[in-house]
Amino acid sequence: MDWAAWEPNDRAIRAQFGYDAATDRAAALLLKGLLPRPPSSWRNLGVQVRNRRNLAILGCGPSLERTPPALLAGKVLVAADGATTWLREQGLVPHVVVTDLDGAEDDLVWAARQGASMVVHAHGDNQDALRRLVPRLGPLVWGTYQTRPEPDLEPLRSLGGFTDGDRAVVLAEALGGLAATLFGFDVDAPPSRYSGRFDPATKPAKLAWAGRIVAECHARGALRVTQWRP
């Protein structure tokens, strides 16, 4: 990630929502200590995404429930947290799950046991969930965090992004994906029942940021992003 390009967004998000960088860093250190030993290689994760034009990134917006599962046939499925529950209901296993662990815990553990690659995000508010869930996710766990990149936090990566959905898009870009179709990315609509725990007072502002970050990613041009609409 180009931190210099992302840092203005980081500053603006922290100013708007009051997130503390020191607490976020503490969560990152916690996650680092919980990762499997030896840690999984980012190269291995990238094999699933690099040069792919058939990525399907699934968010938790209400249009997810109207997505015909047949549209996902033959695609590399990247689930943003609670979208894992919808995929399980359809009998589909995600290839990659991007999560800050506020989705349905049983479904996240199910995905990990089915062989999904779990990209877990650390932030100041999810330290209890990190302790509780990361040890249950098996060996295919990678970690991300949301402060300035630091060698001391490797093998975790600071990739940018804010919500699970837009962070999945940024991850696909960072891993060398070429094209992705977004499902359930309804940044201007109320969340669906798959959204997990959220604060209704701040969720609209977070979704606005998600839309902005996805648009910025598309504008950079490395990952071509299109959105499916029912």
Amino acid found at 78 = V
pLDDT at position 2, please? 87
C-beta separation of 108 from 97 below 8 A? yes
pLDDT at position 155, please? 97
Can you give the residue ranges of every domain in the chain?
A: 3-32+48-227
User: CA-to-CA distance for 112 and 137, rounded, in angstroms?
Assistant: 5
pLDDT at position 189, please? 87
Q: Could you read off the pLDDT of 104-129 as tens digits, one per residue?
A: 999 999 999 999 999 999 999 999 99
Chain centre distance of CA 151: 22
- All residue ranges of the chain with pLDDT < 50 are none
Q: Could you read off the pLDDT of 82-94 as tens digits, one per residue?
A: 999 999 999 999 9
Question: Closest Cα partner for 217 from 164, 161, 156, 163?
Answer: 161
Helix (H, G, I), strand (E, B) or coil at 227: strand
Q: For residue 15, give both structure tokens.
A: 């100013």
